[in-house]
Chain A
Amino acid sequence: MVLLTMIARVADGLPLAASMQEDEQSGRDLQHYQSQAKQLCRKLNAQSPNRCTLEAGVMSFHYVLEHGVCYLALCEAVFPKRLVFGYLEDLQTEFHEQHGKKVSTVSRPYSFIEFDTYIQKTKKTYIDSRARRNLGSINTELQDVQRIMVANIEEVLQRGEALSALDTKASNLSSLSKKYRSDAKYLNTRSTYAKIAAGAVFFITLIVYVRFWWI
């Protein structure tokens, strides 16, 4: 069962269209997955593998990248992969035909939200077991589905986090070293002043001594 479908622009992770989740019917709280999906869309870039499955506990994310657009679906882990990718390919073809040219120009999130109607219809044909038989032809084209890379969602999301953690640590380090530098400078000047002061006291005593007692 496909629980969540999202189409986003890869360049900046801007969501273009999505299918409403059916909270009540599936009885699951999808908020967590929803935010993971958003994060994922932001993480993906042109270097990411074109087709990939990401495991997230009992669920799996599947995505297809094509023409700078990411097509993402969330399903139960047991749901046949071949069907999901067939479904995503289907969406990709239709979306590219309808809106492909406008993708790079939009700035408002969910600009093509009306594509939802098509998503829902397609979803129904893939989920409905009776209609599924008619899809045999599509399935054969996707024989190589087994070779699609599998990774873990946490790893993918954390890869960025680890980098950003490293980044913050590095910047912390640099700011600390800057502080050290300024502190050291300050200490240096203070000790110089102390030396000068000591010398001055010595000389004044000397002069006073010479002035009053020497002569």
Chain B
Amino acid sequence: MPTESLIGYGAPVCVDSGSDQDGYLQGCTQVKCCPRSLYSLVNCPNFPPQLSAGPAQLSPSLSGLSLQSQTPEALRVVNLLQERNLLPLGPVTPPTPCLPQDLQKINCHPEVFRSTLTSIPQTQSLLNKAKLPLGLLLHPFKDLSQLPVVTSSTIVRCRSCRTYINPFVTFLDQRRWKCNLCYRVNDVPEEFMYNPVSRSYGEPHKRPEVQNATLEFIAPSEYMLRPPQPAVYLIVLDVSHNAVETGYLDVVCQSLLENINALPGDSRTKIGFITFDSTIHFYNLQEGLSQPQMLIVSDIEDIFLPTPDSLLVNLNECKELVQDLLRSLPQMFGKTMETQCALGPALQAAFKLLSATGGRVSVFQTQLPSLGVGALKSREDPNQRASAKDIQHLSPATDFYKKLALDCSGQQVAVDLFLLSSQYCDLASLGCISRYSAGSVYYYPSYHQQHNPAGVECFQKDLKRYLTRKIGFEAVMRIRCSKGLSIHTFHGNFFVRSTDLLSLPNVNPDAGFAVQMSIEENLVDMQSVSFQAALLYTSSKGERRIRVHTMCLPVVNSLSDIFAGADVQAITCLLASMAVDRSVTASLSDARDAMTNASIDSLTSFRTSVLTIQQPGLLAPACLRLFPLYILALLKQKAFRTGTSTRLDDRVFAMCQLKYQPLAYVMLMIHPALYRVDDLTDEGALNVSERTIPQPRVQQLSVEKLSRDGAFLMDAGSVIYLWIGRNCNPNFLTQVLGLPNYAAVPLNMNMLPELDTAESQRTRAFVGWLREQRPFFPILHVIRDESPLKASFLQNMIEDRTESALSYYEFLLHIQQQVSK
């Protein structure tokens, strides 16, 4: 069947209806010419069947009207001012591209590859009319439970655009295939005729490459400029007085000791350590030494490596010495009085040490760097936080970190930054070191071993994940799209080399990317377009691999179809990334206006161009009904909010996360999920590996929904709040929290006791399940009315009015005013 469908799919492209401009007509002609075509309209809600009867007479506006009469669910008109209960019962699901079923079945999973518009407009002018952003969101290195791996000496690619063969290409006959990105006809190599899975000959379309939209190739030696590098890890630790005071060294060393055998790598894995305060300390771990040797370099102006070849050692051969060092390190600096910190020179030293091989640098920093190159000054005025009209200092203060990051990127070195501090650290400047070298940033505000146990637990869990997760070295990623489309802006952590090649010295499974696209040439006689992301990397076992994702989307020519295929979550995330850029290049208020305008414009466009019957109220298609809510949530998000006191580092970190995190986590950051948990039942529960996980419904984020006799759980991505009402069901208090009454709820409670009751098991199963779904560890805060964290809990109640921001209803009224103008 796939043979025929693939050929059938190709056929309509050849049938060109010539001068006819009406797309509906075209679609129908093709259906008539080619009854086998996959575009038979059965599975397409957007193509109502009666159109094929006499489409020639229908003008576009009339066809819009007839769409109205049989509106698909996505286009059902919702009056936002009347319908309050917009949230779906469960998670918001991405729309399914309107493709023939057998193509859609093999299409790339939306968690990996997602487009803001699942129906691509035919022309740029049509896209401009819809006022919706066009872009892709990717999570290319996501941990996958199932991934086909192909080993073959020749990887079949298009000769002109170098696209990897994929499920959406067309086989003209047994010997030739047509590229779905540039439409060139290529030969099928002899080797490809044999199918190793079914052990049959002459069925190239049944090869795994043509059956899977996501797969991995083992690269032949042409894909290697040099022998694959070993896994190399360098730990750079701040050991100034301030750092020792927070007590983070214990946690880092302990985590490393526990996970030293779980670090991804093989027998070549190398490890090294650098510590720094006002001087740089190296550790000689050469095999044969009885204990680690510390070498101090005090000349931070012109940094050099004291013994180049014994600072980075083979982990397997020198494990004892490394363990020795990790055990003694926390005590070594116990009595230090050195308060200065020379981060810049330490990073230079790290770069020098790794530049021969490439690898990963993990930097732990606890204060504003104050010595040597890259020293920074405090730029934040705490008194201005709430009142300032516009937020200053979102851009870096020095280009030292960016320049160094680019040098690192050239030598395949990535820098991950762990910032543990209670004071302003200028993350806007420091973050550049990770941003351009494709590292990641972790931030633990007010970290302290004794005063902030929840932060410590979170740091521990994150560190465990960080040390043991998969890692790819010396990676590059290229995103290709069909002729006519072009990618113009990239979001995420990387450096763009040669217009469209993303240089990623390291790639990790928790990194997300976004790109913006424009339509350069009209896609008139195309039924669908494809996008392909190819990630070439060296695994920690020294294998060069290529992971390829391909997504296929239909092309449409009417506004109503574009709106029907809009993916509100993807649009929100892309807008958030764009807004971060805007607030750095222009100003925060500019970015906020742009976001509000984005929702106004798209709803105006919907009202004027798609709706034929004008009704009063604020009308939105069902698929975009959450759009104003998400925009309001973004405006109240840490990154973009004004009027409330937000620390600059918190804000910058939120911005980093919006750009760097994959869509699913960003959505929780923007619009947390609220559940009522005091009455969890097994009704409609999920069954995951013999555990029953209750599924309470998602509540609106409004205080009105909180009732004093209940307990509510708010999942905000990196943090989970459990709010206990004053008159909470005593049963819940005793059975789940193990407390006699409300007054006994402690102010800083961070875990649920393991009680042997059904309620406790249900609640813990639910919280555990929420945590499992993300790579980082959200802390749980149990909150009562007097808790200090109550304010941040209530700040997430985005539908409510605050002293400086509109309520959801007011925001809707504001939008309505603008729309009906």
Contact = CB atoms under 8 A, between A and B. Distances in A.
Most chain B CB within a 10 A radius of its CB, from A17, A20, A21: A20
A210 B229 CA distance: 96
Interface string A16-46: 0111111111000001001000100000000
Given A24-B355, A24-B356, A109-B221, A114 B153 contact: no
A117 B267 contact: yes
Interface in B324-367: 352, 355-357
A23 B268 contact: no
Given A19-B227, A25-B356, A109-B544, 6 more contacts: A17-B227, A20-B230, A109-B219, A110-B228, A110-B543, A117-B268
Nearest to A108: B218
B151 A22 contact: no
A64 interface: no
Interface string A177-188: 000000000000
Contacts of A110: 221, 224, 227-228, 542-544
B166 interface: no
Contacts of A31: 225
Contact of A20 (B219, B227, B308): B227
B227 A114 contact: no
Given A19-B227, A34-B226, A114 B221 contact: no
A89 interface: no
Interface in B153-171: 153
A109 B151 CA distance: 11
A21 B153 contact: no
Interface string B543-570: 1100000000000000000000000000
Q: Is the interface of B mostly helix, strand, loop or mixed?
A: loop
Interface residues of B, number: 26
A66 interface: no
A203 B229 CA distance: 86
Given A22-B356, A116-B230, A38 B221 contact: yes
B319 to A, nearest CB: 14
Interface of B: 151, 153, 218-221, 224-230, 266-268, 308, 314, 317, 352, 355-357, 542-544
A149 interface: no
**Which 3 A-B pairs have CB atoms at the shortest separation, nearest pair first?**
A18-B227, A109-B221, A113-B542
Nearest to B287: A121
Contacts of A129: none
Interface of A: 14-15, 17-25, 31, 34, 38, 107-110, 113-114, 116-117
A19 B221 CA distance: 15
Given A14-B221, A38-B221, A109-B544, A114 B268 contact: yes
A109 B356 contact: no
A21 B226 contact: yes
Contact of B266 (A25, A108, A114): A114
23 contacts: A14-B221, A15-B227, A17-B227, A20-B226, A20-B230, A22-B356, A24-B356, A25-B308, A38-B221, A108-B543, A109-B219, A110-B221, A110-B224, A110-B542, A113-B230, A113-B266, A113-B268, A114-B267, A114-B268, A116-B230, A116-B268, A117-B267, A117-B268
A116 B267 CA distance: 9
A21 B411 CA distance: 13
A99 to B, nearest CB: 13
Q: Is the interface of A mostly helix, strand, loop or mixed?
A: mixed
Nearest to B357: A20
Contacts of B357: 20
B232 to A, nearest CB: 10
Most chain B CB within a 10 A radius of its CB, from A20, A25, A31, A109: A109
Nearest to A41: B221
A114 B228 CA distance: 10
Contacts of B224: 109-110
A43 to B, nearest CB: 15
A34 B357 CA distance: 16
Contacts of B356: 20, 22-25
Contacts of A113: 227-228, 230, 266, 268, 542
Contacts of B226: 20-21, 34
Given A23-B356, A25-B308, A114-B266, A107 B227 contact: no
Contacts of B355: 23-24
Contacts of A116: 227, 230, 268
A19 B266 CA distance: 15
Nearest to A6: B227
A138 to B, nearest CB: 22
A30 B227 CA distance: 12
Contacts of B225: 31, 34
Contacts of B218: 108
Contacts of A109: 219-221, 224, 544
Contacts of B266: 113-114
Nearest to A124: B309
B239 to A, nearest CB: 27
A34 B229 CA distance: 15
Most chain A CB within a 10 A radius of its CB, from B229, B317, B542: B542
B241 to A, nearest CB: 34
A154 B357 CA distance: 29
A107 B196 CA distance: 15
A20 B221 contact: no
Contact of B229 (A20, A22, A24): A20
Contacts of A108: 151, 218, 543
B351 to A, nearest CB: 10
A109 B152 CA distance: 11
Nearest to A13: B221
Most chain A CB within a 10 A radius of its CB, from B220, B221, B308, B356: B221
Contact of B221 (A15, A21, A22, A24): A15
Contacts of B229: 20
B323 to A, nearest CB: 20
Contacts of A24: 352, 355-356
A18 B542 CA distance: 11
A108 to B, nearest CB: 5
Contacts of B151: 107-108
A116 B542 CA distance: 11
A29 B230 CA distance: 20
A8 to B, nearest CB: 9
A21 B356 CA distance: 8
Contacts of A107: 151, 153
A24 B407 CA distance: 13
A15 B317 CA distance: 26
A31 B224 CA distance: 11
A20 B355 CA distance: 12
A38 B220 CA distance: 13
Nearest to A38: B221
B358 to A, nearest CB: 9
A113 B265 CA distance: 12
A24 B230 CA distance: 17
A157 to B, nearest CB: 17
A134 to B, nearest CB: 16
A109 B542 CA distance: 10
Contacts of B153: 107
Contacts of B230: 20, 113, 116
A117 B542 contact: no
Contacts of A18: 227
Contacts of B219: 109
A22 B317 CA distance: 21
Contacts of B308: 25
Contact of A117 (B221, B227, B314, B352): B314
A33 to B, nearest CB: 11
Nearest to A114: B267
A94 to B, nearest CB: 14
A128 to B, nearest CB: 11
B407 to A, nearest CB: 12
A117 B314 CA distance: 8
A15 B153 CA distance: 13
Most chain A CB within a 10 A radius of its CB, from B218, B227, B356: B227
